[in-house]
Amino acid sequence: MSSHGGSNMQAILDAVSDGRLNAWPAVLISNNSTSTAMERARTFGMPAYHYSSVTHPEPEILDLQILETLKRHEIDYLMLVGYMKRLGPATLDAYAGRIINIHPSLLPKHGGHGMYGRHVHEAVLRSGERQTGVTIHLVDGEYDTGAIISQCTVPVEDNDTVDSLSARVLKREHEFLVETLIRIANQAITIG
């Protein structure tokens, strides 16, 4: 599931295509009908669906539509790669312990509602920390509070700006996400 660019999704698709990751991305759900992620999915040959408050104004119906689509495509694990909406209770319950999210900091630092993208990197720089990183975690009913699967660090450099730090963390996100998914696929990390 992705809301915007889908660059982390693309890292997964590339790893599948070149044989590094033994998995099959089966479907994309986006809350943004014009997201680049939708284009990336279609280029890969993966079905892509737009479900949002525009298509389903009632949250309960939206939740059930997402869940029905996941079940119809026989999804085992759900990856949130820049998905900017909270999942509904039916989807959270059906996929408990099998929903994975990536976050651009060392959780629990700089997580929670409203902490995404630039906001995270601004907070890291304001805090004066010398390192940040990437966290891959399970999703529960709250923002960024699920069990941590894996983390890696990224240095904060003296002359960093939000843009330079964001670019360095994003590059590491792409690599680390694939590394972690390979470990899950090879059962070196057990979830679910």
Q: Which residues are catalytic?
A: 103
First to last CA, the chain: 18
Beta bridge partners of 99: 78
Is 82 annotated to bind ligand? no
Contact indicator for 14, 40 with CB cutoff of 8 Å: no
Residue 36 exposed, middle or buried by CB count within 10 Å (0-12, 13-18, 19+): middle
- Other CB atoms within a 10 A radius of the CB of residue 78 amount to 21
Is 32 known as a binding-site position?
A: no
Cβ(98)–Cβ(78) below 8 Å: yes
Is 6 known to sit in a ligand binding site? Answer: yes
Cis peptide before 108 (omega within 30 of 0): yes
Tell me the three state secondary structure of residue 24.
coil
Q: How far apart are CA 54 and CA 164, in angstroms?
A: 35
d(CA 23, CA 101): 17
Q: Please name the residue that has the structure tokens 């040959």.
A: 45
Q: Determine whether the annotation assigns residue 159 to a binding site.
A: no
Annotated binding-site residues read: 6-8, 101
Annotated binding site for (6R)-10-formyltetrahydrofolate: 101
